[in-house]
Amino acid sequence: MTPEGAVERDRVRTPLSDRNAATVVGILYIVGDVFLIASVPIAASLLTSSATLADVNSQPWRLKLGALFVLVPGFALAMIPLVLFPILRRYSERLAVGIVVFRSGLETVMYLFMAATWLLLVRVADAAATASGPDAAALASVGHTLRETNDVFYAIITVFVFVIYALMLYWVFYTSRLIPRWLSVWGLVGAALYLLPPLLELIDISWGFLFVPLAVQEVVMAVWLIAKGFTSERPEHSTSVVRTAPPE
């Protein structure tokens, strides 16, 4: 094999492709966060324990639109680890795989389940509009169960899955210096704070404001990646280091 062939074989990514990846990741973060945040005011009031099936049936479009606004970020955010994987694996292949599993796999399933729950609630509310007696009571019970299930998945399970992903991602960013370390530390601290609200809810303390630091950090990081990209540093053990071909 010629030296030129060895160079071409061993080149994993070029700085240009890394720059494009950073831009794509930044855009995906912004799209995902915007749609996910927008889904809250649209659907939240119909998912509370005080809402009735009649309330849902009077405005079914809100849960349908909310489900769409959950599916869009579910897809966008699931793509982030896939775009990052060729870059992150240079620094830690195990963490790179874990990041893909937790966000592209587990968290995406959570979003799909959440959207399906909202759409099923619309169907139950529609059926309850013409039901009476035991059927109406049974449908009301199903509606309550769907809301409780949504709360468990959204407020607890999804948060835990997301936090594990975030801790892995920002640790790789911190050790690799792919982004400024102050931004990585912000992400690590924000991820730790993000875990507290669902735990505090168990003792009836509502500190939802602790979600804010990481939400703001993601926006700042997204803008940074679009504007600056990743740093050009490479680890010494990187597979992107060019090696010459052995003599024939």
- pLDDT, one tens digit per residue, over 74-87 is 899 999 999 999 99
For residue 177, the 8-state DSSP code is: T
**Mean pLDDT for the stretch of residues 187-211:** 87
pTM check: above 0.85: no
Sign for the pseudo-dihedral over CA of 66, 69, 75, 76 = negative
State how far the Cα of 33 lies from the Cα of 30, in Å rounded to an integer: 5
pLDDT of residue 232: 56
Give yes or no for residue 5 having a pLDDT over 80: no
Least confident residue range of 82-86, 131-135, 223-227, 236-240: 236-240
User: Which is nearest to 171 in space by CA: 83, 238, 94, 227?
Assistant: 94
Provide the mean pLDDT of the chain: 84
pLDDT of residue 199: 83
E strand intervals along the chain: none
pLDDT of residue 46: 86
Longest pairwise C-alpha distance within the chain: 86
Phi/psi of residue 242, each to 5°?
-75, 130
242 — pLDDT class (breaks 50, 70, 90): very low
Give yes or no for residue 236 having a pLDDT over 50: no
Higher pLDDT, 26 or 240: 26
